[in-house]
Chain A
């Protein structure tokens, strides 16, 4: 067991910005804009694990203005998959049903165990990269196969496409997909929220388009910027966001036009909403999110694992959950009101090899990312590329 910041954290020191001059100019402009807000602190939130990876990996917090807090919100799809949804998959696996799952989900704890635990106890659990591979397994094996469909709209469109492409009869889906736009509403309305603007995830917005955020801006008076994943993309996105906060003129800005259009991918949206309907449901540790879950429409009952199998999660609850899980603050971290270094377990009892909470499991989880790269890098550790 190692402490936080093991091998790999040093990578940031080897990195240079592709265009150090531009990075320096952007960081200086960001600093000026943050000061010009006249506030002691300005907090903005991003909702994407890949943004957090890039911010941490490239040591960007070292060049952010000291008064600017860039907080990761509920942007890790694995992390927000609810305990009960994991329990459903575990129960099915323990009943002898073959399960296919994305690798990130394998070790995510449910109430008492993960799919990996079930696998170790003899259950048939296949890790797949794509839902298309799950369909292939179903075709080959002919035994009942349930794909555990997790993730945001980016993976939901793939699940929808697979369902519409006439999968074999033994294929069904345990749907736990989440839809990002509604959770931004909930986070924006949280009492005592300091968040004054959102950085929207570039690739999820490739599907939804940036126009979807216009209603959000009108309702909440908070600006939204769609940004890519390059260090320079993120700096430019944050600058635009802070400028709008400074000027008191909230709007939607698309700083990632190479992948995001106003209307998004209409074909993908059409398939996604033909197969799924948005419905309210729990996001782990955060809240009940109205319209935040995607579930199969009645026309697709024939591929719905919840209707094809009796899934009784209460059968799991004879075993007691680990007492450590009660100390885990994953929920507060995903809501943006706590950070990993405020958790008593972080880097001690909770490490990637023996994760207590979901945020330490996924490569997109805040704790996992901070464990590798550190959350607040020291300026000296970022190396010569630092503006």
Chain B
């Protein structure tokens, strides 16, 4: 619940304030209601429970992505921290009746 995950903005629907964001190959709808800087396609944002909370400065993107890449590439399916990252990435697909996220 505390872990944000960075992703790259693909497209923005201005009418609804919803961005389509790529998270390590998974596309998800992210709301732009609370992010405090203008966001454009190509920008990276920090997503938290379906809301962008920060536009990540371009120079910082690589360092920000590294931890998540490492967790996704090197962790087994039952790794607790990697599971939290996957839940954030696949959040929109989270299904009813699931246990601990």
> What is the CB-to-nearest-CB distance from A106 to chain B, in angstroms, rounded to a whole number?
6
Classify chain A's interface size.
35 or more
B43-83 interface (Cβ within 8 A of A)? 46, 48-51, 53-54, 56-57, 60, 63-64, 66-67, 70, 74-76, 78-81, 83
Q: Which one of A86-94, A128-136, A318-326 contacts B?
A: A128-136
With A11-B76, A77-B1, A268-B34 known as contacts, the answer to whether A155 contacts B66 (CB < 8 A) is no
A15 within 8 A of B: yes
A255 within 8 A of B: no
A369 within 8 A of B: yes
Contacts of B70 in A (CB 8 A): 15, 18
Bound form: Cα–Cα A151–B4 in Å: 13
A332 within 8 A of B: no
A372 within 8 A of B: yes
Bound form: Cα–Cα A127–B94 in Å: 8
Contacts of B33 in A (CB 8 A): 161, 164-165, 271
> What is the CB-to-nearest-CB distance from B24 to chain A, in angstroms, rounded to a whole number?
16
Q: Is A268 a contact partner of B53 (Cβ separation < 8 A)?
A: yes
With A53-B80, A206-B54 known as contacts, the answer to whether A267 contacts B1 (CB < 8 A) is no
With A53-B84, A127-B95, A127-B96 known as contacts, the answer to whether A161 contacts B51 (CB < 8 A) is yes
A12-46 interface (Cβ within 8 A of B)? 14-15, 18
Q: Is A154 a contact partner of B2 (Cβ separation < 8 A)?
A: yes
Contacts of B57 in A (CB 8 A): 258
Bound form: Cα–Cα A151–B35 in Å: 19
Contacts of A8 in B (CB 8 A): 76, 78-80
> What is the CB-to-nearest-CB distance from B60 to chain A, in angstroms, rounded to a whole number?
3
> What is the CB-to-nearest-CB distance from A199 to chain B, in angstroms, rounded to a whole number?
13
Contacts of B87 in A (CB 8 A): 103, 129
Q: Is B1 a contact partner of A364 (Cβ separation < 8 A)?
A: yes
Map CB proximity to B onto A108-134 as digits: 1 under 8 Å, 0 otherwise: 000000001001000000111111110
Bound form: Cα–Cα A230–B51 in Å: 22
A201 within 8 A of B: yes
Q: Is B80 a contact partner of A373 (Cβ separation < 8 A)?
A: yes
Which residue of chain A has its CB nearest to the CB of B57?
A: A258
Q: Is B81 a contact partner of A361 (Cβ separation < 8 A)?
A: no
Which residue of chain B has its CB nearest to the CB of A257?
A: B60
Contacts of B56 in A (CB 8 A): 258-259
Q: Is B54 a contact partner of A103 (Cβ separation < 8 A)?
A: no
A48, A133, A228, A257 interface centre (most CB from chain B within 10 Å): A133
A57 within 8 A of B: yes
Contacts of A366 in B (CB 8 A): none
Q: Is A152 a contact partner of B80 (Cβ separation < 8 A)?
A: no
> What is the CB-to-nearest-CB distance from A23 to chain B, in angstroms, rounded to a whole number?
13
Contacts of A77 in B (CB 8 A): 1-2
Other-chain contact of B3, A131, A133, A150, A229 (Cβ < 8 Å): A229
Bound form: Cα–Cα A364–B66 in Å: 21
Contacts of B51 in A (CB 8 A): 130, 132, 157-158, 161
Q: Is A154 a contact partner of B4 (Cβ separation < 8 A)?
A: yes
Q: Is B53 a contact partner of A154 (Cβ separation < 8 A)?
A: yes
With A11-B79, A259-B46, A362-B100 known as contacts, the answer to whether A129 contacts B94 (CB < 8 A) is yes
B101 within 8 A of A: yes
Which residue of chain B has its CB nearest to the CB of A47?
A: B2
Which residue of chain A has its CB nearest to the CB of B16?
A: A165
Q: Is A129 a contact partner of B4 (Cβ separation < 8 A)?
A: no
B40 within 8 A of A: no
Q: Is B4 a contact partner of A131 (Cβ separation < 8 A)?
A: no
Other-chain contact of B80, A158, A228, A267, A369 (Cβ < 8 Å): A369
A363 within 8 A of B: yes
Which residue of chain B has its CB nearest to the CB of A158?
A: B51
> What is the CB-to-nearest-CB distance from B43 to chain A, in angstroms, rounded to a whole number?
14
Q: Is B54 a contact partner of A265 (Cβ separation < 8 A)?
A: yes
Contacts of A133 in B (CB 8 A): 50, 92, 94
Question: Assuming A152-B2, A265-B34, A372-B80, what are 17 further A-B pairs, CB within 8 angstroms?
Answer: A7-B76, A15-B74, A53-B81, A103-B87, A103-B101, A116-B99, A119-B97, A132-B31, A132-B50, A157-B34, A165-B33, A203-B46, A204-B2, A258-B63, A265-B54, A267-B34, A363-B80
Of all A-B residue pairs in the complex, the 5 with the closest CB atoms, nearest first, are A130-B50, A103-B101, A258-B60, A129-B91, A161-B33
13 contacts between A and B (CB under 8 A): A7-B76, A53-B84, A54-B81, A75-B2, A102-B101, A154-B48, A154-B49, A157-B34, A157-B53, A160-B34, A228-B67, A259-B4, A259-B64
